[in-house]
């Protein structure tokens, strides 16, 4: 398969630095790797991402999933003219995690002109499935992003 990225793969250091003042930075999400049609990242399981029982919060898993899908989708479009924004996300939380790291991999399933669908698998440090998510991204012209 040919790479799907617009203008080649973005530098991970630059992309991670742009997240410093966002939720991704606040909860410790890091982008780690790009392939031809996938993007990977990781997130710590600690007090920033726990729910009250000391387990990984499902919302934190969803934040990791949507981050990876968003980065992937945005990286396929011309940033001068288009952006990618989340339209819908679902997640099945299948295994609890108390500490350490979780690792996500987002793969594109469908790449249309106005929408993309991504599947995101989140695993624990042993490679066991923690969360399976699907995210639909809207591809919009940059001038249409208004509140």
pLDDT by position in tens, the chain (length 147): 567 878 766 667 777 777 778 999 999 999 999 998 999 999 999 999 999 999 999 999 999 999 999 999 999 999 899 999 999 999 999 999 999 999 999 999 999 999 999 999 999 999 999 999 999 999 999 877 766
Q: Show the beta-strand stretches assigned E in the chain.
A: 30-34, 38-45, 82-93, 100-111, 115-123, 129-141
In the chain, domain spans? 12-144
Contact by Cβ (8 Å): 6, 111:
no
Hey, what CATH topology would domain 12-144 get? Thiol Ester Dehydrase; Chain A (3.10.129)
Does the global pTM surpass 0.85?
Answer: yes
Which residues does the annotation mark as catalytic?
66
């Amino acid at each position: 398969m040919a790479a799907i990225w617009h203008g080649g793969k973005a530098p991970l250091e630059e992309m991670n630095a742009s997240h410093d003042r966002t939720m991704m930075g606040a909860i410790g999400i890091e982008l780690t790797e790009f392939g031809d049609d996938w993007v990977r990242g990781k997130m710590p399981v600690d007090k920033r991402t726990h729910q009250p029982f000391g387990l990984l919060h499902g919302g934190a898993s969803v934040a990791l999933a949507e981050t990876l899908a968003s980065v992937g989708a945005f990286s396929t479009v011309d940033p001068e003219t288009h952006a990618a924004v989340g339209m819908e996300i679902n997640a099945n939380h299948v295994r609890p995690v108390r500490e350490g790291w979780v690792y996500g991999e987002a793969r594109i399933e469908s790449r249309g002109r106005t929408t993309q669908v991504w599947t995101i698998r989140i695993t624990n440090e042993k490679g066991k499935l923690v969360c399976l998510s699907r995210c639909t991204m809207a591809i919009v012209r940059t001038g249409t992003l208004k509140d």
